[in-house]
A and B are shown apart, each in its own frame.
Chain A
């Protein structure tokens, strides 16, 4: 059974700092890995999707990397802003005919002005 772990569970940083969120998964036979953002009282918003054949994806100040062999992914946020404060979740998927996302429990990020 696939298990996804995110460390740390919570992180507080001053505005402007670069930071890294970590995600690990037990079964390396994944099709892709996604990073989501969840704001309080709201649903999830997809930030980045890395296919299993890729090593990284970038969107603005966000960069996500994937190392399938070691079962790890990182989300790098450059020059953090208070508006980045949210819970960040990673999820892995086995595609094909069975489309199921397995989520980690998330990292609660607080960026202090």
Chain B
């Protein structure tokens, strides 16, 4: 498997523009996570999905952020309108529930390479 794929790898945009980040999880994984990493706050979970359904979006900073997962192989994180303080590296990760049931404490997450977003 190619691992978790994210695009674009780098994005530079101007304040006020819409930004869409994309993620393709590992085939067969039914959990997908979006994280944001900054120097000040470290790595923070924004939202996660199970079987394409959003489970916990309490980490989404504000209404300008939205995430969708239309099918098992694709997810987007959208920022509209973007602001300079959104500049960060955004990671996508996926995981599977081996054997079904609730995700177990032994199930690790596999991270993509990240998208570095710069909002001018």
Q: Which residues of A contact B (CB under 8 A)?
A: 31-32, 34, 41-46, 49, 51-52, 89, 91, 93, 95-106
**Interface of chain B residues 30 through 53 with chain A (CB within 8 A):** 31, 33, 42-45, 48
Smallest CB separation, A26 vs chain B (Å): 15
Is A99 a contact partner of B48 (Cβ separation < 8 A)?
A: yes
Report the contact-size class of chain B (Cβ under 8 Å from the partner). Answer: 20 to 34
Does the CB pair B42–A103 fall under 8 Å?
Answer: yes
A95-B103, A99-B31 known; A44-B42 Cβ under 8 A: no
Q: Does B25 contact A (CB under 8 A)?
A: no
Looking at B12-20, B67-75, B109-117, the stretch in contact with chain A turns out to be B109-117
Chain A: minimal CB distance from B115 (Å):
11
Looking at the assembled complex, report how far the CB atom of A70 sits from the nearest CB atom of chain B, in whole angstroms.
Answer: 20
Given contacts A41-B114, A43-B111, A43-B112, 4 further A-B contacts (CB under 8 A): A91-B43, A95-B104, A99-B95, A105-B43
Closest 8 pairs between A and B when the two form their complex, measured CB to CB: A43-B111, A105-B42, A103-B43, A31-B105, A44-B111, A32-B105, A46-B108, A95-B105
Q: How far is the CA of A13 from the CA of B48 in the complex (A)?
A: 38
Q: Are B113 and A41 neighbours in the complex by a CB distance under 8 Å?
A: yes
Residue of B nearest to A36 (CB): B111
Distance in angstroms from B91 CB to nearest chain A CB is 6
Chain B residue at minimum C-beta to C-beta distance from A97: B102
Of all chain A residues, the one with the shortest Cβ separation from B9 is: A41
Can you list 29 pairs linking A and B with CB atoms under 8 Å apart?
A32-B105, A32-B106, A34-B108, A43-B91, A43-B111, A43-B112, A43-B113, A44-B43, A44-B91, A44-B93, A44-B111, A45-B111, A46-B108, A46-B109, A49-B106, A51-B106, A52-B105, A89-B43, A93-B105, A95-B104, A98-B55, A98-B56, A99-B31, A99-B55, A99-B103, A100-B45, A104-B42, A105-B42, A105-B43
